[in-house]
A and B are shown apart, each in its own frame.
Chain A
Amino acid sequence: MLIDIINQNAERVLLSAVEQSDQHHMMRGALHFNCSKLGRKPQQEEILLAVRPLLHDNHAAIYFFHDGDLVVTWNGGQKTILDDLCKRLYAHFQLTGNEALHTYYDFNAHGEDLRLMLRNKMKIVPKERPSEGNSHPDGVFSPAFTKDQLDYIKKFGAERRLFASPTILIVEDQAFSRTLLEGMLRKNYICYSASNAEQAVALYAEHPPCITFLDIELPDVNGHTLAAFFKKHDPDGFIVMVTGNNYENDVKQAIKNKVRGFVVKPFSKQKILECIKKYIRERKLNP
């Protein structure tokens, strides 16, 4: 069973999936659960735990919208498991079921309604962008996770292996290089990006990535220090160091930190994709 979690630009990603499905007849339905009416955003993990047992051998995807709503799709989109999924979600949120928070979209009958709902949501997606620069003027940031964050990383770390395609964290302080890498990867992968170590730690805790592309020269902490920190708390994390220098000491330090790759700028599509292929290969060998 493979479950994709889509929590960034989820509206756009689902719209694109729906349009592709029209062409390839892959997905025929989607369950929309109106969590925004609950007054709280659901956590990815709680939803995953609630719905996973029902999805059996289906390849499913859970889309977390910016407003807290979620949509579940599963291959074929057969309606047969719909009732169970709804019951499970209502029970999880301690609701009676009379609240009518769900909508099932059959693509044949309600494809245009689904597209309209997604386009309406996309209109009000806030354009969030992490702030640039170092929030620590003294240039020192001590990476740390809270206990809850560590628990989450541990639990979610195991789930990552179920993803059909890896999620990626890009840590790069130069906007140009970050935009380049992000632009290339975002077409096929879910990407998060950070311009400094502090943002990277926060994103890592919130969305433990399958692969991290980590720049060595960061404004608030050395990339090696951050790599060692991530590996200490998330030994399965797949880290690739990215650097403009090709210093022997950097390579030695990267090996010492047990990172899985080392890419010297300029990036090339081939070098980046090789790292991703390596991750996928290793995941298959150690499921």
Chain B
Amino acid sequence: MNAPVDLTNLRSMTDGDKDMEKELFKEFYTSFEAGLNLLKTSCTDTASETWRGQAHALKGIALNLGAETLGTLCKTAQESYIIPEAPKLKMLENIRAEYERVKVFLHKL
């Protein structure tokens, strides 16, 4: 299975600055935990703007980190925000599982 994160682009932006990298990973965890909670609370509403906005925000964060699969899952969630609760919960589960993979990968660095 491919690595869930490709840090090449991020490292070119940070010039390999390890402290900055740590700070960014910390921001990543904070933003994602908060974003996932908001997705959970907003999935009961069909056509929720909160769901769309949060999925959009998480997509940007994931892609900037280099977590392409996670970014793609968030993009799908953003684009299909006008769906009922059950498929949203399934999407959320997939996003959370991929986020955990990313976390494990980053912790091993």
Hey, which bits of chain A sit against chain B, CB under 8 A?
173-177, 179-180, 183-184, 187, 217, 244-245, 265-269
Q: Are A179 and B27 in contact (CB under 8 A)?
A: yes
Q: Are B13 and A180 in contact (CB under 8 A)?
A: yes
Per the bound structure, the CA–CA distance linking A244 and B58 in Å amounts to 10
Chain A residues lying within 8 Å of B71, measured Cβ to Cβ, are 266
Q: Are B17 and A176 in contact (CB under 8 A)?
A: no
Q: Kindly report which residue of chain A lies nearest to residue B21, judged by CB atoms.
A: A183
Chain B residues lying within 8 Å of A176, measured Cβ to Cβ, are 24, 27-28, 31, 61, 64-65
In the complex, whether B20 has a CB less than 8 A from a CB of chain A is yes
- 5 pairs of residues in contact across A and B, judged by CB atoms under 8 Å: A180-B24, A245-B56, A265-B59, A266-B66, A269-B9
Per the bound structure, the CA–CA distance linking A184 and B16 in Å amounts to 11
Given A187-B15, A266-B9, A268-B13, CB of A180 within 8 Å of CB of B56: no
Instruction: Name the interface residues of B1-18: CB closer than 8 Å to any CB of A.
Output: 9-10, 12-15, 17
Q: Kindly report which residue of chain A lies nearest to residue B17, judged by CB atoms.
A: A183
Chain B interface main SS type: helix
Which single member of A173, A184, A217 contacts B13 (CB below 8 Å)?
A: A184
Per the bound structure, the CA–CA distance linking A180 and B71 in Å amounts to 17
Q: Are B13 and A269 in contact (CB under 8 A)?
A: yes
Q: Are A179 and B13 in contact (CB under 8 A)?
A: no
Per the bound structure, the CA–CA distance linking A174 and B81 in Å amounts to 20
Q: Are B14 and A175 in contact (CB under 8 A)?
A: no
Q: Kindly report which residue of chain A lies nearest to residue B31, judged by CB atoms.
A: A176
Instruction: Name the interface residues of B31-62: CB closer than 8 Å to any CB of A.
Output: 31, 53, 56-57, 59-61
Which single member of A175, A183, A187 contacts B31 (CB below 8 Å)?
A: A175
Given A174-B60, A177-B60, CB of A268 within 8 Å of CB of B9: yes
Chain B residues lying within 8 Å of A269, measured Cβ to Cβ, are 9, 12-13
A-B contact count (CB 8 A): 64
In the complex, whether B63 has a CB less than 8 A from a CB of chain A is yes
Chain B's nearest CB lies how many Å from the CB of A91?
45
Chain A's nearest CB lies how many Å from the CB of B74?
9
Chain A residues lying within 8 Å of B10, measured Cβ to Cβ, are 180
As a 0/1 sequence over residues 56 to 93 of chain B, the CB contacts with chain A under 8 angstroms (1 = contact) are: 11011101111000010000000000000000000000
Given A217-B56, A244-B56, CB of A177 within 8 Å of CB of B13: no
Q: Are A184 and B60 in contact (CB under 8 A)?
A: no
Q: Are A177 and B61 in contact (CB under 8 A)?
A: yes
Q: Kindly report which residue of chain B lies nearest to residue A264, judged by CB atoms.
A: B63
Per the bound structure, the CA–CA distance linking A269 and B16 in Å amounts to 13
Q: Are A244 and B60 in contact (CB under 8 A)?
A: yes
Q: Kindly report which residue of chain B lies nearest to residue A268, judged by CB atoms.
A: B9
Q: Are B66 and A175 in contact (CB under 8 A)?
A: no
Q: Are A179 and B23 in contact (CB under 8 A)?
A: yes
**Residue with the highest number of chain A CB atoms closer than 10 Å, among B13, B15, B30, B66:** B13
Chain B residues lying within 8 Å of A266, measured Cβ to Cβ, are 9, 63-64, 66, 71
Q: Kindly report which residue of chain B lies nearest to residue A266, judged by CB atoms.
A: B63
Q: Kindly report which residue of chain A lies nearest to residue B58, judged by CB atoms.
A: A174
Q: Are A183 and B13 in contact (CB under 8 A)?
A: yes
Q: Are B12 and A175 in contact (CB under 8 A)?
A: no
Q: Are A175 and B27 in contact (CB under 8 A)?
A: yes
Chain B's nearest CB lies how many Å from the CB of A103?
34
Q: Are B57 and A174 in contact (CB under 8 A)?
A: yes
Chain A residues lying within 8 Å of B30, measured Cβ to Cβ, are 175
Q: Are A177 and B64 in contact (CB under 8 A)?
A: yes
**Residue with the highest number of chain A CB atoms closer than 10 Å, among B17, B20, B30, B60:** B60
Per the bound structure, the CA–CA distance linking A187 and B60 in Å amounts to 23
Q: Kindly report which residue of chain A lies nearest to residue B53, judged by CB atoms.
A: A217
Q: Are A179 and B24 in contact (CB under 8 A)?
A: yes
